[in-house]
A and B are shown apart, each in its own frame.
Chain A
Amino acid sequence: MINKTAAQMADALAKDETTSVELTQAHLDRIASVDGQVKAFLHVDSEGALAQAKDVDARRAQGEKLSPIAGIPLALKDVLAQKGVPTTAGSKILQGWRPPYDSTVVSKLKDAGVVIMGKTNMDEFAMGSSTENSGYGPTFNPWDLTRTPGGSSGGSAAAVSAFEAPLAVGSDTGGSIRQPAALTGIVGVRPTYGAVSRFGLIAYSSSLDQAGPFGRTVLDTALLHEVMAGHDPKDATSINAPVPAVVAAAKSGDVKGMKIGVIKQLQGEGYQKGVQTRFDESLEVLASLGAEIVEVDCPSFEYALAAYYLIAPSECSSNLARFDAMRYGLRTGDVDGASAEAVMSATRDAGFGREVKRRIILGTYALSSGYYDAYYGSAQKIRTLIIQDYAKAFTKADVLVSPTAPTTAYKIGEKVDDPMAMYLGDVATIPVNLAGICGMSLPAGLADEDNLPVGFQIMAPAMQDQRLYQAGAALEAALLSKWGAPILSKAPELKGAK
Chain B
Amino acid sequence: MALPTYDEVIAKWDPVLGLEVHVELNTNSKMFCSCATEFGAAPNTQTCPVCLALPGALPVVNEKAIESTILIGLALNCKIAPYSRFARKNYFYPDMPKNFQISQYDEPICFDGYVDVEIETDEGTKQFRIEIERVHMEEDTGKSLHVGGATGRIHGADYSLLDYNRAGIPLVEIVTKIVPGTGKYAPEVAKAYVAELRDILRGLKVSDVKMEQGSLRCDANVSLKPIGSDVLGTRSETKNVNSLRSVERAIRGEMIRHAELLNEGKKVKQETRHFQEDTGLTRSGRSKEQAEDYRYFPDPDLVPVTPAAAWIEELRATLPERPSLRRKRIKEEWNVPDKEMEAMINADVLDIVEATVLLGADPTKARTWWLGEISRIANDQNVAIADLAITPADVAELVALVASGDLTDKLARQVVEGVIAGEGKPSEVVAKRGIKVVNDDGALMAAIEKVCAEQADTAEKVRGGHLPAAGALIGAVMKETKGQADAARVRELLLGHLGHAAN
Task: Give chain A's interface residues, CB within 8 Å of chain B.
Answer: 80-81, 87, 89, 94, 97, 99-101, 103, 198-203, 205-207, 233-237, 314-315, 317-318, 321-324, 326-328, 339-341, 344, 364, 367-369, 372, 376
Contacts and interface: CB of A to CB of B under 8 A. Distances in A.
Interface of B: 49, 52-61, 88, 90, 92, 94, 97-100, 154, 160, 162, 291, 293, 295-297, 300-303
Contacts, number: 104
Given A101-B49, A199-B58, A206-B301, A324 B295 contact: no
Contacts of A233: 60
Contact of B297 (A201, A202, A314, A328): A314
Contact of B55 (A81, A339, A376): A81
Contacts of B293: 368-369
A340 B92 CA distance: 10
Contacts of A89: 55
A328 B54 CA distance: 8
Given A236-B301, A322-B53, A322-B55, A364 B60 contact: no
B59 to A, nearest CB: 7
A5 B295 CA distance: 48
A368 B100 CA distance: 14
Nearest to B89: A318
Give the interface centre of B97, B99, B297 by most chain A CB atoms within 10 Å: B297
B60 A321 contact: no
A322 B303 contact: no
A80 B56 contact: yes
Given A101-B54, A314-B297, A317-B295, 15 more contacts: A97-B55, A99-B55, A199-B57, A200-B56, A200-B57, A205-B300, A233-B60, A236-B61, A236-B303, A317-B90, A326-B162, A327-B54, A328-B54, A344-B92, A367-B295
Given A318-B88, A321-B99, A376 B297 contact: yes
Q: Is the contact region of chain A dominated by helix, strand, or loop, or is it mixed?
A: loop
A233 B303 CA distance: 13
Nearest to B49: A101
Contacts of A87: 55
A237 B59 CA distance: 10
Nearest to A321: B99
A340 B55 contact: no
Nearest to A91: B55
Contacts of A323: 55
Contacts of A339: 154
A100 B49 contact: yes
Contact of A315 (B92, B291, B300): B300
23 contacts: A81-B56, A99-B54, A99-B56, A199-B56, A202-B56, A203-B301, A206-B301, A234-B58, A314-B297, A318-B297, A321-B100, A322-B55, A326-B94, A326-B162, A327-B54, A328-B54, A341-B92, A364-B295, A368-B293, A368-B295, A369-B293, A369-B295, A372-B295
Contacts of B291: 369
A148 B244 CA distance: 66
Nearest to A322: B53
Nearest to B59: A236
Q: Which 5 pairs, one residue from A and one from B, show the smallest C-beta to C-beta distance? A: A321-B99, A206-B300, A207-B300, A367-B295, A200-B56
Contacts of B61: 236
A204 B98 CA distance: 14
Contacts of A324: 92, 94, 99
Contacts of A341: 92
Contacts of B94: 324, 326, 340, 344
B53 A327 contact: yes
A361 to B, nearest CB: 12
A203 B60 contact: no
A83 to B, nearest CB: 10
A159 to B, nearest CB: 21
Nearest to B90: A318
A322 B99 contact: yes
